[in-house]
Structure 1
Amino acid sequence: METTKLTLRPRSRISRLAHSMAKREKNSITQMFSDFILARQKAIESQPELGPLTKSLSGVVTLPENFDEKQFMSDILAEKHGDR
């Protein structure tokens, strides 16, 4: 497997945390980074792609900043099924 050099410059707290995690997991920071990137790529690839209609509707509705989705859905369901 071909490798290349990658230099990262994290904050010292992150660096200490990475070293600690690698030691605890008996792993290298390089391997932890590789595993993280591969897991993220897999997660991205497993997300379904938006269809053209959904893409075209993106940004059509603007909600107020204080919009409460849970309250809105609760109100809709209460109206549909009657208050219990």
Structure 2
Amino acid sequence: MVISLPGHCSSDSTCQSNLLCDGTAFMLNDMASRGVIDREKLDSFYLPMYGPSDKEPREIIQDEGSFMINKILARDVISDMDKKKTP
């Protein structure tokens, strides 16, 4: 079984990627500037987002005990995209 979760690279939440949030914010701002959605509604919109570190799901899965973890990989979305671009 493979599970893929957005998260952050360590217990330091300052390194958490905001890629998904930034994209959503860009789209919503664009829609408000075009009048598709009301600017006041956008300004009051709140969408909490949290991506766990690789340690948090491991602890939950081990405590719950339904299955064992063979391997957990943590990837940095930004640097992985940069690696793909370079030949």
TM-score of the superposition, structure 1-length normalised? 0.24
TM-score for both structures, normalised by structure 2: 0.24
Higher helix share: 1
Structure whose alpha-carbon radius of gyration is higher: 1
Q: Which has the higher contact order (CA 8 A, sep 6+)?
A: 2
